[in-house]
Amino acid sequence: MSDEKKLLFQAKNMYKSFGPTKALVDVSLDVYAGEVVGLIGENGSGKSTLTTIIARIQKGDQEEMYLEGQPYSPPDVIAATAEGICMVTQEQATFEDLSVAANIFIGEEKQFATGPVVNNAQMKKAAKKALENIGVTHINVSTLAGKLVFEDRKLVEIARAVYADPKILIIDETSTTLGKRGRDILYSVINSIRDSGRAVIFISHDIDEIMEVCDRISILRDGHKVAEMEKKDFTSLGIKRQMVGREIEDNFYRNDYDGSFSDEVALRARNLALGCLRDISFDLHKGEILGVGGLADCGMHDLGRILFGLDKPDLGSVETGYGKRIKKNTDAIKNDFAYISKNRDQEALFSVMSIRDNICIASLNKLANGLGLISNKKEKDLVNTWTNELQIKMDNMNQFVMYLSGGNKQKVAVAKWLGFHADVFILDCPTRGIDVGVKAAIYQLLSELKAQGKAIIMISEELPEVIGMSDRILIIKDGLISGEFPRNPDLKESDLINYMI
C-alpha cells in the first residue's frame, strides 16, 4: 500500500546518545503523503528523541533526513517550521505571561511587524482565525495564557502548530492531556491534514487510540526500531509484544470482581463545592480503590486538589476517617495523604532537581534521625528501591528530572509518594504518559496497596482504567455525582458514558 504513495519524509540511520544512554541506534523512518504514522514504544524507547530531532528541537549525533526528496537539515525549530515540519510536544509549551495571540505567534511575529513594531490588533485577528481553523471558539485571544485551563493551553499549542500549515505535523503524547472536546478537535485536525495529502506523526501510549488513528506504526524499543505494522496487521497484543519484547496480558487490570473493602473510613468528603463542583459527598474506605471519572472539565481534577487541601472548598469539608479536618495540604501530608497531579511538570516534579531529591522530598522527615540529620544511605536505599520497582530509565539517581523522558518523569512522581508510604492516595491520571509495561506495574502496585489496606482515589479520563481497577466508581457530570457503580464484570464504558454526557 505504502509503495503506491508519495514518500514525503525520510529519516535514515539516526543515532543519538545522552552520556552513556543510547537513545537512538540506527533508526529509520519513512512518512508517506496522506497518512498518519504512529510511533509507539515504552518510556525511554526513543520516540520523543526521534521526533524532536526531526522538529529540530535537538540535533542527532548522526542523521540523514529528506523532505520531499530534498536533504532536510534545518538549523533550528523556526527553520524546520518554515520547511514544513511542526511539533506539538507532550510538555506544556505556552507562556503564562503572554496573551493567547502572542503565544500562537511566538517566534513568528515578523509577519505582523512594520520594522520592529508588531501590530497587536492584526496579530489578535489572525490568532482568532487560527483558533477557529481548528474549531476552537471559546478562547479569548487577548487573555493571558496563564489564565487558561490546561486543556485550553494545549489547544493553543495545536493552533500554533496548525497555523504554520505544516507538511508534517508531529503530535507527541498530547491526547492524554485533553478531554473529550479537546480530543475531538485533535482528531479532526489530524484527519484534515491527512485528507489534504500531508502527514502526521502521532505518538501515544494508548494502543487503542494508536490503532484507531494511525494508518501505519513504527515500534521502538530501547532506541531501536523493532517493527513496522500496517493498519490491517494491527492487534493490541501484537503491538504490546513488540513494544516490551515479551508477552503481556491483554487485560492487565485486576482480575478479581468481589469489590470488597473495609468498613473503616479513611477519608470523608462532605458537600464539597468549588467552581463547577456542587455538593460532592462520599466516603473512601481503607482497602478501597475509588475510581472517579467524567469529562475533563467536569470538575474531577479540582476534586483531587480539594481532597489534598490544595484548594479550599467554598462549601463542605474533607476529613480523615477519625474526624481530623483537612484544611490545607500540610494537614493532608501530616495525615499520610499523597497526591499526584495531572499537571505533572508544573505540580508534581522539580524539573531542575535530581531524581534522588524528587523521590526523597516528601519523605525527608521520615528519613531523618533524632537530630534531624538525613541519612545518606537511607536516601539512596529509598531511591534505589523505587527506581528499581518502577524501572525508571536513568543514567544515575543524581540526573536532573528534566532530562528524563515523559513517562519516566511520571514514574518519578509516582515513586515519590510510594516511597512516602502514604495511607490515602489521591491519584489524578496516574498513568498519563506511561507506557503499557509500566502501566501494568502501576496497576499491580495499586492492587498491592489495596491489599495492604491503603485507600486510593483514582481520578482518570480513561474509562477502561477506571472500570478495570476500581472497587467503586463515581461519575461526575457538571460538578455533581451523576452515577455510582460497584465493581462489576459486566460494566461497560457505554454504561458510564451515559452518565458523563
Partner 1 sequence: MNTNSFGSKLAGGIKKFLWMAAIPVILFVIFWVATPGFGPNSILVILNQSMIPMAIGYGMCFLMKAGMMELSAGAQIILIGIVGVQFSKTFGMPGFIIGCIVTGVLTGLLKGAVFALLRIPSMVISLGMCLILEVIGRWIAGGKGKMDLDKSLGFIGKVPYNFVIIAILGILFLLIFYNTAFGSHVRAIGNNEVVAKSLGIKPIKVKFLCYTVCGFFFGFAAILQVCYSNTIAAKMSMGSLPMVFKPMMGVLIGIELNRIYDNFLVNILVGELGMAIIFNGLMAAGLPTTIQDFVTGFFLLFVMLISANRESAGDAIRRIKLRRQAAKQEG
**Between β-strands 424-428 and 289-294, what pairing exists: parallel, antiparallel or unpaired?**
unpaired
CA 353 to chain CA centroid, nearest Å: 20
Task: Decide if residue 107 touches partner 1 (CB under 8 A).
Answer: yes
Of the candidates 90, 87, 88, 58, the residue with the CA atom closest to the CA atom of residue 73: 58
356: DSSP letter: H
- Options 106-114, 371-379, 426-434, 473-481: segment touching partner 1 (CB under 8 A): 106-114
Residue 138 or residue 377: which is nearer to partner 1 going by CB? 138
Q: State the nearest-atom distance from the C-beta of 175 to partner 1, in Å.
A: 20
In this structure, are residues 433 and 407 in contact, taking their beta carbons and an 8 Å threshold? yes
Q: Which amino acid is at 344?
A: R
**Of 6, 59, 129, 312, the one binding partner 1 by CB under 8 A:** 312
Q: State the nearest-atom distance from the C-beta of 134 to partner 1, in Å.
A: 15
- Options 10-18, 243-251, 257-265, 311-319: segment touching partner 1 (CB under 8 A): 311-319
Q: Which amino acid is at 323?
A: G
Task: Decide if residue 448 touches partner 1 (CB under 8 A).
Answer: no
Task: Decide if residue 314 touches partner 1 (CB under 8 A).
Answer: yes
Among all chains, which residue has been given the C-alpha cell 499491580? Answer: 444
Crossing angle for the helix pair 120-133 and 150-163, to the nearest 10 degrees: 100
Residue 52 or residue 177: which is nearer to partner 1 going by CB? 52
**Between β-strands 35-41 and 62-67, what pairing exists: parallel, antiparallel or unpaired?**
unpaired
Give the span between the Cα atoms of 348 and 415, in whole angstroms: 11
- Options 72-80, 201-209, 213-221, 446-454: segment touching partner 1 (CB under 8 A): 72-80
Which cell numbers in the block locate residue 219?
Answer: 515500534
**Of 96, 230, 256, 395, the one binding partner 1 by CB under 8 A:** 96
Of the candidates 237, 238, 214, 235, the residue with the CA atom closest to the CA atom of residue 226: 238
In this structure, are residues 412 and 393 in contact, taking their beta carbons and an 8 Å threshold? no
Q: What DSSP element (H or E) covers 410? A: helix 406-420
In this structure, are residues 253 and 233 in contact, taking their beta carbons and an 8 Å threshold? no
Task: Decide if residue 493 touches partner 1 (CB under 8 A).
Answer: no
Residue 91 or residue 319: which is nearer to partner 1 going by CB? 91
Residue 81 or residue 218: which is nearer to partner 1 going by CB? 81
Which cell numbers in the block locate residue 426?
Answer: 489521591
Q: State the nearest-atom distance from the C-beta of 72 to partner 1, in Å.
A: 16
Residue 98 or residue 445: which is nearer to partner 1 going by CB? 98
**Of 4, 70, 117, 323, the one binding partner 1 by CB under 8 A:** 117
Q: What would the x/- binding string for partner 1 be over residues 185 to 204, using CB under 8 A? A: --------------------
Angle made by CA atoms 12, 239, 429, in degrees to the nearest 5:
105
Q: CA–CA distance from 289 to each of 294, 300, 453 (Å)?
A: 16, 16, 10
Task: Decide if residue 1 touches partner 1 (CB under 8 A).
Answer: no
Task: Decide if residue 149 touches partner 1 (CB under 8 A).
Answer: no
- Options 71-79, 229-237, 356-364, 440-448: segment touching partner 1 (CB under 8 A): 71-79
Q: What would the x/- binding string for partner 1 be over residues 316 to 355, using CB under 8 A? A: -----------------------------------x----
**Of 6, 61, 69, 106, the one binding partner 1 by CB under 8 A:** 106
Give residues 230-289 in contact with partner 1 (rule: CB under 8 A). Answer: 273
**Between β-strands 35-41 and 199-203, what pairing exists: parallel, antiparallel or unpaired?**
parallel
Return the percent helix, strand and coil in the chain, to nearest 5. Answer: 40, 25, 35
Q: CA–CA distance from 334 to each of 313, 419, 420 (Å)?
A: 20, 15, 11
Q: State the nearest-atom distance from the C-beta of 422 to partner 1, in Å.
A: 27
List residues near partner 1 by CB under 8 A: 52, 57, 76-79, 81, 89, 91-98, 102, 106-107, 109-110, 113, 116-120, 137-138, 140, 142, 144, 273, 312-315, 351, 402
